Amino acid sequence: MPRANQKFKGFCKMKFTVCLRLLIASLMIVSCGKDNLPPGGSGFIEATEIVVSSEIAGQLRIMRFDEGDFITEGDTIGEIDTVTTVLRSHQAGAARQMAETKVKISSLNIEQASQNLSLAKKEYGRVASLIESGSINQQHFDQIETAYQRAILSKKQADATYQSALAELAKVESEIALLKKQLSDCFPRSPGSGVVTSKFVDAGELIGMGKPLVKIAKLDTVWVKVYLPPEDLTKISLGGHAQVDPQDGRTKPLDGVVSRIADEAEFTPKNVQTKEARADLVYAVKITIPNPEKILKIGMPVSVKIQ
């Protein structure tokens, strides 16, 4: 029995030693494998979003797009009531005609004043030469000189009236240009192409200047932010390739590009799963992904591997 016990103890010791060696080897393999894994993480798809607001107040008569609709740059989003602006445009048109008439009349007055001044100047010159020879008396000369001075004043007044008429016409033209802009603002247009993700108003509502109408997301190119520890930054570079996996079981990983690496570390955002991970300092890395087929949607969770 003692000899059997010694054999059993020896066997157990040998087995323990083998198991310990296997465990150490496994840990080393796992550690090496972890070191060789490409940097990456998970995040949510984001995109550039534009909020289109009204530049004029009035009643929204027509809304042409709804949430989920695709909109092209230059498309008319809706129509705001134009009656008031059109009526003011008619008034401004009539005011322009009156201003143009004043300019024409002022121009004719300048022409008449110029002719009168020319005649008065000639008469003054003739009488001035006669007064020196004593052919006329001083009273007659004073009358001719007064008429000449009045002709000069009338010409100046005609010039001033003409300039005033031109200024009035320019003012009316500016008002007309402003009303044309306001009329154009009654038909707000999309500044870019994308998908309407939010609609803030409906037809029939009275809206004010600056009121948001729709939010448009540009889905042709989207991005995702992942957060990497400092030791992974040496493994990536701007312009580097990345694989973005929607993990939906249907879509194969998409190609992305490292478009930004944060210059400063930050605490891991709260949307990271574990409390321990949130306590770590990490660097935000932005991955830009071409999305011409609109496979990726805003808010879609994805995993990222940076190569």
- One DSSP character per residue, 229-241 reads -GGGGGG--TT-E
Predicted pLDDT at 136: 79
The stretches in the chain having pLDDT less than 50 are 1-2, 4, 8, 10-11, 15-16, 18-34, 273-276, 278
* Domain 39-48+219-306, CATH homologous superfamily name and number: Efflux pump adaptor protein, beta barrel domain (2.40.30.170)
CA distance 256 to 242: 5
pLDDT of the residue at 93:
95
Given 1.20.120, 1.10.357, 3.30.70, 1.20.58, which CATH number is that of 83-185? Answer: 1.20.120
Q: 154 to each of 115, 143, 306, how far by Cα in Å?
A: 11, 16, 85
The answer to whether the 39-48+219-306 and 83-185 domains have the same CATH topology is no
pLDDT confidence of residue 67: 93
